[in-house]
Structure 1
Amino acid sequence: MINSKKLLTSLSAGICLMSALIAPSTQASVISVSPDTIVSVSADGDESSVGTVNSGPLSSSELIVRERKNTSQESLRIATFFDFDLSYLTASDVNNNAFSAVFSIDFVSTVNTKNAMGVLLGEVESAWTDTAGSLPLYEWADLSTNQTTVVDDVKTATFDTYTLDVTSTIQDWVNGVSDNYGFVLFADSTVYQGAGFDNAALVVNVPAPSTIAIFGLALVGLSLARKAKK
């Protein structure tokens, strides 16, 4: 018959050892991902547009926001839609108290230095793809939700990296509270101005096993050890 005191001693030693082995590896993982899809569309319909800023033509990895005061030039009014693949995240990841998500983007150029224009980030409310016939509509920019300012005024702002906390948005998408239709970058006013952006990224902090849980595991081991002594 197994001696209960020896069993408790073995269990306590094992649990304490397990907590000691886990503790050194409990560092959070910081993951930075680029947009899965980027589509720039104009206000003249469901078609992809190519915009330019004073740095020249934009590459496929760049995002552009452009406006014209003269509404007859609808093809030059551009908003950029983009999304991120979140398949690597689980509900357990995003519901951890230490989880965080930040949207990061580099502001790199403007159309001119004469007119003031802000740039907003919104959550898209309709499904879209980068396939002709199912591209996002420019009008969806104004219909986007949780609109947040990325750059207050491209006329006076410095070329730099700008960030926004999007933790709650990513949590809602992963938890299925709302659908992940991505983001849209667009202008806050109709004025002859535009801005170019690059290196858009979603930077997430995914916690490793909770240090509180590991601490609790160690306490269980110590408790068993005390019982074994008694």
Structure 2
Amino acid sequence: MTEPSSCLRETVDAYDAIAVRYAALARDDLTGPSLDRAVLAAFADYVTADGPGPVAELGCGPGPVTAHLRDLGLDVFGVDLSPVMIDLARDTYPDLRFEVGSMDALDLADGTLRGVVSWYSVIHTPPRELPPYFAEFKRVLAPGGHLLLAFFESEGEPVTPFDHKVVTAYRWPIDALAELAREAGFAETGRMLREPREGERFRRGHLLMRLAGVAVNSAPDQVS
């Protein structure tokens, strides 16, 4: 694996330092009534409809979303740049595969995956550095493969940095992020916006995408 950039190194060090506390909080993210669970289920439905194949959660942290995707029937593994997070994930979910790796330089052959999930895992990436991540997602996905992005949505503002509790993060206009993915070769399948829950600061955005050139069953769905 290549040496992380200074931005990635800062992010890894910050998450390593708070990994245990973060894991305790993340464990409850998908409990109770949840639109987040609904969009993960939609992603799983799209992937399984195309037949069996591996799925990667990139930036998996301590692993609860990876485990949830497994429970939805997917052949899934997790990748994260933080060794401490990966150790926690392996301890918590010993039946699942977790690997240390960077989302922009994955140790995977071209066209290996049926699906990629990036669940709030590109939020710390400066906007100018984001296109290589989409290029890597495209490289590792098989033709017609599916991509799910979750992120903080900017609510009518341009791309906006904010003081995340761990390290600086960015809020994105959903249309701008969808356009960036389109330029990388993805076609939008659907989107979901949800308002902040109690204790949350910002609107959440979710984009379901597929490698361009493959027909989808309907026009993009929208839930706000």
Q: How does the TM-score come out when normalised to structure 2?
A: 0.23
Higher helix proportion (structure 1 or 2): 2
